Amino acid sequence: MQVSVETTSGLERKVSISTPSDVINSDIQKRLQQLSKTQRMAGFRPGKIPMSVIKKRFGGAVTNEILQEVMSRSFYQAIQEQNLQPAGQPMLDAGDLEGTEFTFTATFEVFPEITLTEFSKLKIEKPESEIKDKDIDRMLDNLLKQKGTWEPVKRMAKKDDTVVIDFVGTIDGEAFEGGTAEGFNLVLGSDSMIPGFEKQLLKVKTGEERQITVTFPEDYQSAEVAGKEAVFDVTVKEVKGLKTPELDDEFVKEFGVEDGGVDQLKAEIQKNMQRELDAKIKGEIKTKVFESLQEANEVEIPKPLIDQEIQVLKQQAVQQFSQGRDAQIDLPDLPSAIFEDQAKKRVELALLVNQIIQDNELKVDADRVKETIETMASAYDEPEQMVNWYYSNQEQLQQVESAVMEDQVVDLILEQANVKSKSFGFDELMNPNPSK
C-alpha cells in the first residue's frame, strides 16, 4: 500500500492511497465463489451455477462491496501510519480497477495542533461576596410578601401596591390592538407596562379617572405602535395593599422549622443563601477563566465539529421551544447560521480544555466525583438511592465526571494565572441586571 498526504488548505488533508489491483480482484473472485455455493436460481442445481452467470448478476454489487471494505481498511491503516487525526468522516473518491493499482483519495479535516499560551499570562477577575444581616432580612421580607394577601385600601396608591384598572388606549385618536383591557391587575413598580405608565398611576385613588400619555419604545415588539405616542384613559377600579403575616412561630413553621423560632429560620435562610452564593461564584469564576483562556488562544476549528455542534444546539432549541406546545418544530426549519457563533465558541473551548488535559495528563478525581454526586443526591428524599442511580447510569456518571474534570482544569489555571479579587454585594452578584 502506498500513501501520500497533501495539505490542501488549513486543516484539510487529501490522502491518496494505492493498493495492487490483483489483490482486490482476487478478493472479488473469492466473494463471488462463496456466493455461487449459496445462491439458488431456476434451471440450475444448488452449487452448480456457472461463474459467468454469478458474475453477471452479482459482479457489480460485489465489486462495490469489496472496494468499500478495501477503502475503509486502507484509510484507517493510512491515518495511523501518518499519525493523522480526522475531525470528521472522510469524503472518499474511488478510482478504477483497470490498471495494476487501485487508487482512491480521502479528503477530510484534522484536529488542530494547539500550543497553549502560558497560564501566567492570563488575567482573571475573581468575584467575592459575603452574606450580611441586611441580605438575610431582605430575603425574610420576601418570604413574608410571598405569604401576604392583597386587601383593598382607602389611601392613595404607592409603589408596590396593586391597582385594578380599566383602560382604553389610542394613537392619533384611533384604538389599537392590545390597547384596551378591563379589570387589569397591575403592581406599581413592577415595570411590566410601557415606561412611564406605572409612574403616572402613583397617588391615584379607587374610582379615580386619569389620562396617561406615554411613548412606545422604538424597539417595541409590535412594529405597529413602536416609537409612537399613545394616550390611555384609565379608570381605577380598586387600590390594594399587601398585608404581610406576623413574623412569629406560626409563620416559621410554614417553612418546616419546628424548633428555634425566627432565629432558626434565619439560620436556614442564610444556609440556603450561602449555597446559592457559592454556586454562583463558582460558575462566575469558571466563566471568566474560560473566557480568558479563549481570548488568549486562537484556534483553527474543524468545520465538521462546528456542524455537529450546530445540530446539538438545534436539538436543544427544538426541545426547549416544544415544551408545552402541541406542534413540534422541525430541525430543518431552524437556520444553522443563528447557532454558528455559539457552536464555534463551544467547540473551541472543548478543544482547549482537552489540550490542557492532555498536556498535564489530568485524570478525573474520583473523590470529587463522589462528593459532587452526594451533594446533588442530598436534595432528594432518598439520597442513597440517587447515589446508586448515578453510579449505575453510565451516561449520567460521564456527565458528572466531565463537569469535575472542567473544575480541575479551572483550578489548574487559577493556580498559575494572574488573579485579582473583586468584592460584590450579595444582590449585586446574584442579580447583576435587576429591573429598574
Q: pLDDT truncated to tens, each residue of the chain (436 aa)?
A: 899 999 999 999 999 999 999 989 898 889 888 888 877 777 777 777 788 888 888 888 988 899 999 999 999 999 999 999 999 999 999 988 778 899 999 999 999 999 999 999 999 999 999 999 999 999 999 999 999 999 999 999 999 999 999 999 999 999 999 899 999 999 999 999 999 999 999 999 999 999 999 999 999 988 899 999 999 999 999 999 999 999 998 899 888 888 888 999 999 999 999 999 999 999 999 999 999 999 999 999 999 999 999 999 999 988 887 776 655 666 667 888 999 999 999 999 999 999 999 999 999 999 999 999 999 998 888 999 999 999 999 999 999 999 999 999 999 999 999 999 999 999 999 987 655 4
Burial class of residue 75, CB neighbours in 10 A (0-12, 13-18, 19+): buried
Is 37 inside a domain boundary?
yes
Is 125 inside a domain boundary?
no
Based on the domain organization, do 391 and 306 belong to the same domain?
yes
Based on the domain organization, do 266 and 220 belong to the same domain?
no
Is 256 inside a domain boundary?
no
Based on the domain organization, do 101 and 11 belong to the same domain?
yes
Based on the domain organization, do 232 and 372 belong to the same domain?
no
What whole-number distance in Å separates Cα of residue 170 and Cα of residue 168?
7
Residue 30: which domain range?
Answer: 2-109
- Indicate the residue among 180, 210, 243 that finishes a domain: 243
Task: Please give the pLDDT value at position 53.
Answer: 83
Based on the domain organization, do 91 and 170 belong to the same domain?
no
Based on the domain organization, do 220 and 340 belong to the same domain?
no
- Which residues pair with residue 67 across a beta bridge? none
Task: Please give the pLDDT value at position 362.
Answer: 97
Question: Which residues of 117-249 form beta strands (DSSP E)?
Answer: 123-128, 149-152, 162-171, 174-187, 209-215, 229-243
Task: Please give the pLDDT value at position 432.
Answer: 79
pTM of the model: 0.78
What total number of domains does the chain contain? 3
Based on the domain organization, do 23 and 99 belong to the same domain?
yes
Long-range contacts, stretch 5-11, CB < 8 angstroms, 24+ apart: 5/82, 5/84, 8/107, 10/109, 10/300, 11/87, 11/109, 11/110, 11/111, 11/112, 11/300, 11/302
Based on the domain organization, do 180 and 99 belong to the same domain?
no
Task: Please give the pLDDT value at position 57.
Answer: 83
- Indicate the residue among 79, 109, 139 that finishes a domain: 109
Based on the domain organization, do 360 and 406 belong to the same domain?
yes
Q: Which residues, 6+ apart, have CB-to-CB distance to 190 below 8 Å? A: 198, 435
Is 308 inside a domain boundary?
yes
Task: Please give the pLDDT value at position 321.
Answer: 79
Based on the domain organization, do 265 and 300 belong to the same domain?
yes
Task: Please give the pLDDT value at position 55.
Answer: 84
Based on the domain organization, do 413 and 267 belong to the same domain?
yes
Based on the domain organization, do 181 and 312 belong to the same domain?
no
